[in-house]
Chain A
Amino acid sequence: MLRAPASLRGVDPARYVVYLGFLLVLGGFAVALRNDGFLSAANLLNIVQGATPVTVMSVGTVFVLTAGEIDLSIGSVVAVAALVGAIVLRGAPWWAAAAAALLAGGGIGLVNGALVAYLRLPSFLVTLATMGLLAGVARWLTDLRSVPITDDIFNGLFGSGALFGVPSLVLWTIATVVAGHFALRETKFGAHVLALGDSAAAARAAGIRVRRLRMQVLALSGATAALAGVLYAGRLNGARYSLGETDLLTVIAAVIVGGTRLSGGTGSVPGALVGALLMEMLNNGLILMGLAVSEQMMVRGVIILVAVALTLRERRV
């Protein structure tokens, strides 16, 4: 019997459509905007750094979707975590603030997960409810006021700093994507997540502790959203209740375009990275083209539609 080499087994060609799409859009902008600084190092760095929070959230979302769940609360977690971090930072060092923010996000995810796993509520509804609840909490925490952050270490580490000339946001992108990819592909945890999304019944029969796994996955999603919040706060030197509010759909689009299946069982962290970069590149390039805002929105919509159609259509065959 012929068998594909191990390295290619389980590879879905549709998953590579996003890379092709990314290169096409990149090439298109490179030609159209050759005189507008699109390909300048500074602008390409803008794209990566602009995409960082969405990329970080996408990594958590890959796990959630792969496990067959969804987390709609991530946008609200971003704001809550950023504000928690900024508030703690008033009286504590940067590491305590960052830890508090991550714990807040992870804790929220854990509560989401517990409701899903033990009360057997659908994650869509649980996180829809917590999304609203947390949006309220974010507004209530500081009574709609923004909280400035003046801690240079915090702002440098999570925002505008650099290590050996590499901007910190780029390092966060690399670190999260590498860790996420490794966890999904090379660990027992990742294998269990894939199995759970494929078939919960089969996973249970195989001895996987399904409830605990669901909780872990949603806690991870909360934690990555919180990290995104910390990165926003570092970049903006401050936190505000509206941070992350518009990110949910961008994250889901990036993850799906990147080859993760909405119905579970298949996920790709590098694909999500490319999806997130594609979204940010569209924002960036369409602005540089000098289009009116309404035109930017229409063109972006069409390109995303094409990308989704390519990814999903092939996979259904």
Chain B
Amino acid sequence: MKATFFAATALALTLAAPAFAQTRGPGGEAPTPTTDLKLDADEIAKLKGEHATAALLWHTSSDFVNAVTAGATDTFATLGMKVVAETDAGFDPAKQQSDIATVLAKKPNAILALPLDPVTSAAAFRPAVAAGVKIVLLSNVPAGFTYGKDYVAIVTDDLFAMGSHAADAMATAIGGKGHIGYIFHDAAYYVTNQRDQSFKKTIETKYPDIKIVESQGITAPDQGEKVAQAMLLKHPDLDGIYVTWAEPAEGVLSALRQAGNRHVKIVTLDLSEPLALDMVKGGNVAAIVADQAYALGAGMATAAGYGVLGKAAPPFLVAPVLTVTKANVEQGYQQSLHRAAPDSVVKALKGG
């Protein structure tokens, strides 16, 4: 969760998205799906002739980053571009600055990066802009950077779609009507706020027969269990619980198990092994909505190809969203994280 969290978090500071209908870019740009990016055979041939190189400047190391890296590296390979350096700033903007300086010694044509912090990364990324490197940004924009001049494109999770997919999954799980609990992240945090609000809005506008009977915020993942216990106490007739992300959802699941409650359906976001296992075993978890990190990386690499060719990419790209249920859990892991589902999950699927 943390990684995905962070992937789009800094948007909070720059992309103060006012609109609700969809995820919006820093200048209010409408989103373009990463799948819309296309390079034709001539363009790819031209790109291959350039023998271009790219560097990946990540904020941390995680499952999410690995999948983005895999997507980017595979796509670069098809474009004849070589990844010459990869860095992990460990969430430290000063380390990221020195990473950039280091990487520039290799004179890459393109950089894919998640700038850690809009304020402090502006100075850090300026030398790369000055060196003429084509920059594709993940989720976050350094302060004062302009599209087309300083960077090629921003690629991010489609947060709005994640929330609305979760609402649709909840509706499916409880048969389109009933009482649900809503556990949201009670903090000024762009990623979770966008997803939570989108879930709530979609339920309220699209599903009149579903009532949110209890809303409860959490500030830390370990509060999930206690909040769920209180909800069950107040509303024994609850049909479903939405949880803001996987970690607290594990606590909610534990509360339901302790109460011997097999009825309440859980819908949450971001893949987690214990939740996926419960889901395939026919437990409380009905669906997990996930972003497609691999596609995110692939989109970033293609956008970098646009940059190297001097072709304008759409300014604001969003990666597709995926609803994972028991039916598609194996493909879900592949599509989202570009790896096989955990052994326990696969075993449970086969076992029944």
Interface set of A (CB-CB < 8 Å, partner B): 36-38, 40, 42-43, 46, 49-50, 53, 146-148, 155, 159-160, 232, 235-240, 242-246, 280, 283-284, 287-288, 290-294, 296
Contacts and interface: CB of A to CB of B under 8 A. Distances in A.
B117 A240 contact: yes
Contact of A242 (B86, B88, B91): B91
Given A38-B105, A46-B101, A242-B92, A293 B124 contact: no
B94 A43 contact: no
Contacts of A280: 98
A43 B104 CA distance: 9
Contacts of B58: 293
A294 to B, nearest CB: 7
30 contacts: A37-B105, A37-B107, A42-B105, A43-B102, A43-B105, A46-B102, A46-B105, A49-B98, A50-B101, A50-B102, A146-B117, A146-B118, A146-B119, A232-B94, A235-B94, A235-B123, A237-B122, A237-B123, A238-B119, A238-B122, A239-B120, A240-B120, A242-B93, A245-B92, A246-B95, A284-B98, A287-B102, A288-B103, A293-B86, A294-B61
B123 A288 contact: no
A238 B85 CA distance: 27
B49 interface: no
B97 interface: yes
A233 to B, nearest CB: 9
Interface string B304-341: 00000000000000000000000000000000000000
Interface residues of B, number: 32
Contacts of A296: 88
B61 to A, nearest CB: 5
A37 B118 contact: no
B102 A283 contact: yes
Residue from A49, A238, A287, A296 whose CB has the most chain B CB atoms within 10 Å: A287
Contacts of A42: 104-105
Contacts of A288: 85, 102-103, 105-106
A127 B282 CA distance: 51
Interface in B59-93: 61, 83-88, 90-93
B104 to A, nearest CB: 8
A36 B93 contact: no
Nearest to A228: B94
B122 to A, nearest CB: 7
A64 to B, nearest CB: 22
Contacts of A290: 83-86
A229 to B, nearest CB: 10
B278 interface: no
Contacts, number: 97
B99 interface: yes
Nearest to B58: A293
Given A38-B105, A240-B93, 12 more contacts: A37-B105, A40-B105, A46-B101, A50-B98, A236-B124, A237-B123, A239-B120, A245-B92, A287-B99, A287-B103, A288-B85, A288-B102
B45 interface: no
B230 interface: no
B119 A243 contact: no
Contacts of B102: 43, 46, 50, 283-284, 287-288
A292 B61 CA distance: 10
Contacts of B122: 237-238
A236 B94 contact: yes
A37 B119 contact: no
A195 B105 CA distance: 45
B184 to A, nearest CB: 19
A284 B90 CA distance: 15
Contacts of B105: 36-38, 40, 42-43, 46, 284, 288
A235 B97 contact: yes
Contacts of A243: 92-94
B213 interface: no
B233 interface: no
B119 A147 contact: yes
B16 interface: no
Given A287-B99, A288-B102, A293 B87 contact: yes
Contacts of B259: none
A147 B90 CA distance: 20
Interface in B209-223: none
A40 B106 CA distance: 11
A243 B87 CA distance: 18
Given A37-B105, A246-B92, A283-B102, A236 B97 contact: yes
Contacts of B97: 235-236
Residue from B94, B95, B98, B107 whose CB has the most chain A CB atoms within 10 Å: B94
B143 interface: yes
Residue from A38, A238, A280 whose CB has the most chain B CB atoms within 10 Å: A238
